[in-house]
């Protein structure tokens, strides 16, 4: 059961767990989809120190006015290609994001994003909607990667 301040998102991609894990952990992939529609995340604004206790930071830039929003997290658990967990200690309540990559056995992978200790400002319906646009951007990016080279 989902508790207040807790959200779960499920998406199925026609891609391997390994590719999806790499997309979520490599700046050259993250720059293509990280953040809601209306933002960009330049590759030089992404820090990935992929180890427990390592930093995961992104600087999202508002396309309309250039304002910036920095997300600072610390990796908690890394099990390529099954699981990725980070915590945002600077966010009220210490929000934690857990992403599991489930091989469906038919060339598809279910990606489950589970967030706990989500503060009210991120639990707001508009903030949730923005987060969903980021998941949509991820879907589109991964679908484009999976296209055959001659497409």
Residue 106's pLDDT is what?
95
Q: What pLDDT tens digit does each residue of the chain (151 aa) get?
A: 445 589 999 999 999 999 999 999 999 999 999 999 999 999 999 999 999 999 999 999 999 999 999 999 999 999 999 999 999 998 877 899 999 999 999 999 999 999 999 988 888 888 889 889 999 999 999 999 976 655 4
Q: Which CATH code, of 3.40.50.2000, 2.170.190.11, 3.30.530.20, 3.30.750.24, is assigned to 7-35+77-146?
A: 3.30.530.20
Residue 91's pLDDT is what?
81
DSSP 57-125: EEEEEETTT--EEEEEEEEEEEETTTEEEEEETTSTT-EEEEEEEEE-SSS-EEEEEEEES--HHHHSH
Q: How deeply is 54 buried, as exposed, middle or buried, from its count of CB atoms within 10 A (0-12, 13-18, 19+)? A: middle
Residue 93's pLDDT is what?
78
């Amino acid at each position: 059961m989902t508790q207040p301040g807790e959200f779960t998102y499920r998406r199925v991609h026609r891609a391997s767990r390994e590719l999806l894990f790499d997309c979520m952990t490599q700046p050259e992939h993250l720059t293509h989809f990280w953040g809601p529609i209306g933002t960009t995340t330049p590759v030089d604004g992404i820090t990935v120190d992929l180890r427990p206790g390592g930093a995961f930071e992104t600087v999202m830039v508002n396309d309309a006015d250039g304002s910036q929003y920095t997300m600072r997290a610390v990796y908690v658990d890394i099990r390529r290609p099954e699981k990725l967990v980070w915590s945002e200690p600077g966010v009220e309540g210490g929000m934690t994001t857990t992403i599991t990559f489930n091989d469906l056995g038919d060339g598809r992978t279910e990606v489950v994003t589970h967030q706990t200790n989500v503060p009210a400002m991120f639990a707001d319906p508009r903030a949730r909607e923005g987060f969903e646009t980021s998941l949509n951007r991820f879907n589109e990016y991964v679908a484009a990667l999976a296209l055959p080279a001659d497409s």
